[in-house]
Structure 1
Amino acid sequence: MAIGLAAGCAMAVPALAQSDRMAPIATPAQPTAIDLKTGPMPGATASEAWHSQYGSVFARNVTSATLTPFLPDPAKATGAAVIVAPGGGFRTLSMENEGWDVAKGLAAKGVAAFVLKYRLNPTPAEMAEFERSSQMPPPGGAARPRPSPQERMAGIAPMLTDARAAFALVRQRANEWKVDPDRIGMVGFSAGAMLTMATALNGQDAKPAFIGNIYGPVSAMEVPADAPPMFVALAADDPLFGGTDFGLIENWKAAKRPVEFHLYEQGGHGFGMYQKETTSTGWFDAFVDWIGMHGMLKPAA
């Protein structure tokens, strides 16, 4: 199955503080980031740039993919691992709220976590022009046809290559990082959830042991008989995916594959690790409990 998330999915925008403007920042130090050596992003001309917004930090124009490990205290290590894919419409990456903070939370639970900074589609080099190009269409504007999940996934081949390289690296260094190669999962947010789905369904040698789809697409798609267990968290008031059907859940059930679905009343899109006054904030603890139910929080015999 071919797996762009083109204009159909905008940047991850949390319901709180939507008026916050983008502010350029210096590229943060990332001393433990490992180059995945998947090559430059085809067609890229601008250099990687970072900005702050919504109380988090974002990267854009990523042309070289990296993987940053967040390893647990050896005394707490379970042997399980999760590759974390931030979202941002394949134009930016919400590196803090949907990346580093998630990885830190998992490491605190004894799970090795690896933040994937995957390559992105090119955006304008100038911040003002980029910000204009990122704004959501005005209410009542002409509606664009919503592409199918298969159509959305068709244009993310470089990102899928990055995800596969991330799995290969973690498995290659599994002994060093005290990771069980058979217990490496993946969790993604918005566009990162789409990449997670693509990796699970088309990742070839990647094959996550389990996946988390956090406010990603939930429309129907073909599910293979060997699909991994899936955890889904979505807010009913999500402007991108909250009003769609939930065919993906039914497809997973029809394939007789494990699936857990949390539909929160409120939370909007992009809630990630933000501490909000909505029950969507509980998704992380629910996800940890779920992987625990699947035996991921107990060291392998």
Structure 2
Amino acid sequence: MGLDLNKLEHLIAVAEEGSITRAAARLHLSQQALSASIRVLEREVGVPLLDRTATGVSLLPAGAALLEDARALRGAARSALHRARRIGRGEKEVLRLGHTPAVTGEEIITLLRQVGAAHPHMATDVNQRYPHELTDALLAGDLDIGLCRAMTPPHGLARTTLAHQPLSIAVAADHPLATRTSVALSELIGQHFIVWGQPGHSAYTDLLINYCHAAGFEPRIERTPRQGTPPATAVIGTDRLAFVTTPPGPAADGAVRVLALDPPLYAPLHALYSPRTTSPAKDAFLRRRVDLSGL
């Protein structure tokens, strides 16, 4: 039995819109045509997929399970078409790389320099995405690799660890701790920490909070309003602290001082990717042994 990708696209739209009417408008179909397509899909699968009520539609467990695979299949199909067209047109392969704000530009440059040394003809297209945008783009086949920290891959994606980097503490240059070169995490009880994600919704934030718990305290945290900027700059003009992977010493043209953690703690650098897609550039990147010790 084969699955019609168009019908899966219809299921995705209905699930995301929560309404046949809105999904039909999004797909430029009549409501009758969309409803008929979903019912045909249910007959092909052999079980109901949607719970239809007067106020809208919602996924039944079988529909939710099919939706997860449908998104991954749609992304794999889009990647296959993109690859075939590129090869047919004689175009160069481009590694489409995304990263969350927790991965700095310096780290990206170092990674690409190392990969470029082994594969000098590899072209790259790099852009920053927020975590949910990163996973959506990977599932949709719009990115080949997503670099992040501690993110749990959703259904359809895989994760590999590229490196573990030492964590440091960033403070503004006029902060009382700025005269120090290192600090123990246990010394920071009562300090306010700037983070980039909400606890319980960001695996990286949860990792940092767990480090504080292991040091014997509950950290006071607040989410930075400066989303998308280099992590070390978040403390400028504040009395807050931030966990960063920036090397110890002055940063941000002297506006920030970065302190080493003693004993050291580490942050993982992860790569998310779809195992269903074919990309020599992606495979070459993932095979590369990463060394970020020079940062």
Fold shared by both chains (TM-score > 0.5): no
Q: Which has the larger radius of gyration?
A: 2
Scaled by the length of structure 2, the TM-score of the pair is 0.26
> Between Structure 1 and Structure 2, which shows a larger proportion of helix residues?
2
Q: Compute the TM-score of the two structures, normalised by the length of structure 1.
A: 0.26
